[in-house]
Structure 1
């Protein structure tokens, strides 16, 4: 499997349409990065769920998924499932975030996501973070919109198990959903691991990247 590194980022951005989107789509990646680089700055923006139980769940969860990180989380109050009707406010919030950070990596929903809120946010990200490495995470759901990803972050068995445990622990409001269980989360991670010759992995859509294949070899 070909491996391309993205260096050691000092700042990343994580965006979600709903509380728990970031953790479901990229929780293992956040755990891996934050443990490898204490003090990593993580600017996170969630468009809905603010002001209630869901916001507190999100704050507790992302604090656990980003250990020893400089986490700066904003949770807005846009209505769930109504992003098209609140496009201006959503766009302004994404652009405001862009104006106060210069990340080396952006984690966001895929532009092909079947959920209109996820897809809408993904479209906003491409207009605000135009020259950044953007990894589009996937969220398992009833729509069955999982595709063929182009990038993988391997997860150690310990991190994969920790991700599932934290999802179950910190989002009690979601436990009633038929797909919100250990088998779904760990099963998808196992499938994505098979695809990249690892035990577990998270997968991402990568739409554009510039390669530097002409750097002189300075070894010896």
Structure 2
């Protein structure tokens, strides 16, 4: 496959509608980036729902485990789960405030065709705030049949894929009653994406638009 290089990534923004979205969608990439950068990776996390709850505690512990050695800042809002479209203005204002706290090299957020209304409203708002950034739309494994047709793959080693699954199961005990929240499901999806890019495992993303330079810049 043709490989594109994003350059030296030192600062990223990761956005999710719920505590666990980021870890499910981009956990393997976070583990990989944290291990590769020469100086501590700066990670700015933004989550719509779960403030002052057990789920916020889970999220903070999970992100710390997924970003060892990184500088991690987490902001969790109190938007009611499942009702994000009704909170459009507060979410937009919070996103704009979050935008002023960071200058990321890459932005990770849900993809626009996600079937969950909370994921979708966040996906629609992110490009209106991060207007000049590379935004990668991640996929969130769940019951709905909304898995996208990815355009970008980030290869993972089997060790990283297994570590991601282990962290998900360890740090999100509130979610283990879901019949899709298990190691086989997470490794199955990452293995499928790996097959599609000829690697052991991978995380896949949707890119709405980007520029490319050929030769020396």
RMSD of aligned alpha carbons: 0.9
Question: Which aligned segments of 4 or more residues in structure 1 are displaced greater than 2 angstroms?
Answer: none
User: Helix, strand or coil: the match of 1:13?
Assistant: strand
1:100, distance to aligned residue in structure 2 (A): 1.8
Alignment partner, residue 108 of structure 1: 109
Quote the residue 1:146 is aligned against.
147
Shift of 1:147: 2.1
Counterpart Cα distance in 2 of 1:163 and 1:70: 19
Question: What's the offset of the Cα at 1:167?
Answer: 0.2
- The TM-score with structure 1 as length reference comes to 0.96
Equivalent residue number for residue 65 of structure 1: 66
1:12 alignment partner in structure 2:
12
Secondary structure in structure 1 of the residue aligned to 2:98: helix
Tell me, in whole angstroms, the C-alpha distance in 2 between the residues paired with 1:63 and 1:93. 23
Q: Could you report, residue by residue, the CA deviation over 1:57-114 in whole angstroms, capped at 9, with x for unpaired residues? A: 0000000001100101011111000001111111111111111211110000001101
Identify unmatched segments of 5+ residues in structure 1. none
Partner of 1:97: 98
SS in structure 2 opposite 1:90?
A: helix
**Matched residue count:** 216
Q: 1:18-55, CA deviations, whole angstroms, 9 ceiling, x for partnerless residues? A: 00000000000000001111411100000101101000
Q: Residue 51 of structure 1 aligns with which residue?
A: 52
Residue deviations 1:121-153, cap 9 Å, x none?
Answer: 011101000110000000111111012100000
Where do 5+ consecutive residues of structure 2 fail to align?
Answer: none
The answer to whether residue 181 in structure 2 is matched with residue 187 in structure 1 is: no
Q: In the aligned structure 2, how far is the partner of 1:91 from the partner of 1:14? A: 16
Answer yes or no: is the 8 Å Cα contact 2:148–2:206 preserved in 1.
Answer: no
**CA offset at residue 10 of structure 1?**
1.5
Residue 79 in structure 1 maps to residue 66 in structure 2: no
2:78 and 2:18 mapped to 1: Cα distance? 10
| TM-score (normalizing by structure 2) | 0.98
